[in-house]
């Protein structure tokens, strides 16, 4: 039997310091038997996303090593970016691959979350399949008010979502909080418009996301990439079998054209399964520089 393997995709609140991003990548690479598949940083989102794969013990060691590097370096009191976040180490999701089970991924997520809570004395919430309460399928409800609202949430809880699952219910102004989860494969895919039109990007995001009646299993937000002078439709494809990358890309293109806009490029954050492209070429969805290093199957 092959060894059970898990993907871990920590998102940290630093996307501008390239030396820091490389230190984090080196921390992951230093753990034996861990494959660092991708490290993606963005200065406007002010966020870095690391994707690595290993057996349970190794992936746990790599996740905790990355947590230590991020929490030692990032001070949330100085952090401002366009992506919602609650802490320096914002989210730490785990994804199982056969023969690993989702139950094993849940146990892994809660083990890592508990270790982070104890070691760094910060609040931890569990989401996705690791959630302890209904309504936490995504991190969104747990990010209510973001980092700036975290102190008030912890001081005066108004709902169960304001009380952490692990760690102290106190505000750490430097680190914030951490959301740890277990989930299926998620494809993070962005589409850059050909100009800076934030209102249009937001309208396109509303049109394509599931919560507004758009594409199934799609989350989307429209943002400005100030450093690049364009706007972007940033998407999470929660189930690429229901909405593959080409369907999402074509929908954004159609909505952009209806508003007199064009599309400059697509952008993949992390890696994606081959089937997420539904038989289309990566170039057809704006990924002109795509290589097999961005395919999940390359590492599995």
State whether residue 291 is helix, strand or coil. Answer: coil
Q: How far is CA 160 from the centre of its chain?
A: 23
Examine residue 184 and say whether the peptide bond preceding it is cis (omega within 30 degrees of 0): no
- Kindly give the pairing relationship between strand 263-269 and strand 124-128: unpaired
CA distance to 59, 161, 202, 276, per residue, from 112 (Å):
10, 20, 35, 29
Of these residues, 40, 46, 79, 83, which one is catalytic?
A: 83
Number of neighbouring beta carbons within 10 Å of residue 141? 15
Q: Catalytic: 83?
A: yes
Q: How far apart are CA 21 and CA 158, in angstroms?
A: 36
Q: How far apart are CA 138 and CA 155, in angstroms?
A: 23
Q: How far is CA 138 from the centre of its chain?
A: 11
Residues designated as active site: 83
């Amino acid at each position: 039997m092959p060894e059970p393997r898990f993907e871990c995709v920590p998102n940290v609140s630093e996307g501008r310091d390239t030396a820091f991003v490389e230190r984090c990548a080196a921390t992951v690479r230093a753990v034996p038997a861990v494959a660092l598949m991708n490290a993606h940083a963005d200065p406007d989102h002010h966020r870095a996303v690391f994707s690595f794969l290993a057996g349970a013990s190794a992936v746990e060691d790599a996740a905790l090593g990355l947590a230590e590097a991020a929490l030692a370096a990032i001070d949330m009191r100085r952090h401002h970016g366009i992506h919602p976040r609650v802490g320096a180490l914002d989210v730490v999701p785990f994804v199982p691959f056969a023969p690993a089970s989702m139950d094993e991924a849940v146990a892994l997520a809660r083990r890592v979350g508990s270790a982070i809570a104890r070691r760094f004395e910060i609040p931890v919430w569990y989401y996705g399949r690791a959630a302890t309460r209904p309504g936490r399928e995504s991190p969104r409800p747990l990010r209510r008010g973001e980092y700036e609202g975290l102190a008030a949430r912890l001081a005066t809880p108004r709902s169960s979502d304001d009380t952490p699952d692990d760690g102290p219910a106190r505000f750490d102004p430097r680190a914030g909080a951490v959301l740890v989860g277990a989930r299926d494969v998620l494809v993070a895919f962005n589409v850059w418009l050909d100009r800076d039109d934030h209102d249009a990007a937001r309208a396109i995001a509303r049109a394509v996301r599931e919560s507004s009646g758009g594409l199934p299993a799609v989350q989307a937000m429209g943002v400005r990439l100030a450093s690049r002078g364009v706007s972007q439709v940033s998407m999470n494809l929660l189930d690429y079998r229901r909405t593959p990358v080409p369907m999402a890309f074509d929908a954004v293109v159609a909505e952009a054209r209806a508003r007199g806009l064009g599309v400059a490029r697509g952008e993949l954050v992390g890696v994606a399964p081959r089937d997420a492209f539904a038989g289309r070429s990566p170039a057809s969805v704006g990924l002109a520089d795509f290589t097999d290093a961005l395919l999940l199957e390359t590492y599995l």
